[in-house]
Each structure stands twice: as structure tokens, then as C-alpha cells.
Amino acid sequence: MINRKTDYASLGKVYEGLVKTTRNEYDVAVANYEMLKKQEEMAREDLKLYEDDKTSKSFEIANQKWKDAAAAMDQAYSDMLSKMEAWTQAIVDNFSNTMERLKQELENDLTDGAGFDYLIDHLQRLKSAEEEYLTRTNQIYELNKLAREA
């Protein structure tokens, strides 16, 4: 967790930059995947041309070209998913930072900068003092009651 004195606004700028960077990386990965998908489709079409003679050298070359294109496309798809995950994580981190910044600002506004922990501690001390006062008041009452009876 980030400590109280963290400058969430500055950290927010870092996260915003990270969101933009990961979005750009994702866009590049999508474009790469689309390009490789078209190459795989073209290789598959080429393969169909030689389908009648599966023993020919041309078929073997076209088949290998299609397998290579399909493997590259699969790798690009995996890369695209990992870039999407990184981009999504950057968005989540940016959102979390924004929420922490807003929480800190609200806490500072509501407590005049003292913080909720200070106020809770102060209220607990007041409650203890109140309990002590009530205990002593009851003791004095009981003493006065005994004195009147005597």
C-alpha cells in the first residue's frame, strides 16, 4: 500500500502515461495480428491451389508456408491478448490511484488535514475520559449516599 504522503497527482500522470503506452502497444499487436491473419488466409488459399497433388514439392512448400503463417498468427494472437491484459491492468492501476487520491483529498478536507487515524485516536481518548468521569461521578455518588445514611 502507498503511504499517506504519496503525491497521487504525480503518480496519476505516470499511470496515465502507462495507460497510453500499453494502449499503443495493444494497437500495434492488433495490427500485427490482422496482418498475419491475412497472410495465413493467403497461404491457405495458395495451399488450395496444390491440393490435388499432395505429393508435389509445390504442395509441400505451400503447406509449410501455411503452417508457418498459422504459427505466426497464433503467436501474434497470444501477444495481442497479453498486451490487452497489460493495458487493462494499467487502467485498473490508474483507477485505483485515482480512487486513493480522491480518498486522500476527501480525508484531508473532512479532517482539516489531521487524518482519520488522528480523529479516531482523539475520539477514543475522549471516550476513555468520559468513562473515567462517569466512574468517578458514580463513586462520589455512592460515597455521598453512604455518608447520608450514616
pLDDT in tens, 129-146: 999 999 999 999 999 988
Q: pTM of the predicted model, to two decimals?
A: 0.65
On whether the CB atoms of residues 80 and 33 are closer than 8 A, the answer is yes
Quote the mean pLDDT of the chain.
91
| Domain annotation covers residue 75 | yes
pLDDT tier at 82, thresholds 50, 70, 90: very high
| 85 and 68 assigned to the same domain | yes
In angstroms, rounded to a whole number, what is the distance separating the alpha carbons of residues 92 and 90? 5
What pLDDT, on a 0 to 100 scale, did the predictor assign at position 1?
44
Domain extent, residue 123, equals 114-150
| Domain annotation covers residue 54 | yes
| 78 and 143 assigned to the same domain | no
pLDDT tier at 2, thresholds 50, 70, 90: very low
| 88 and 132 assigned to the same domain | no
| 121 and 83 assigned to the same domain | no
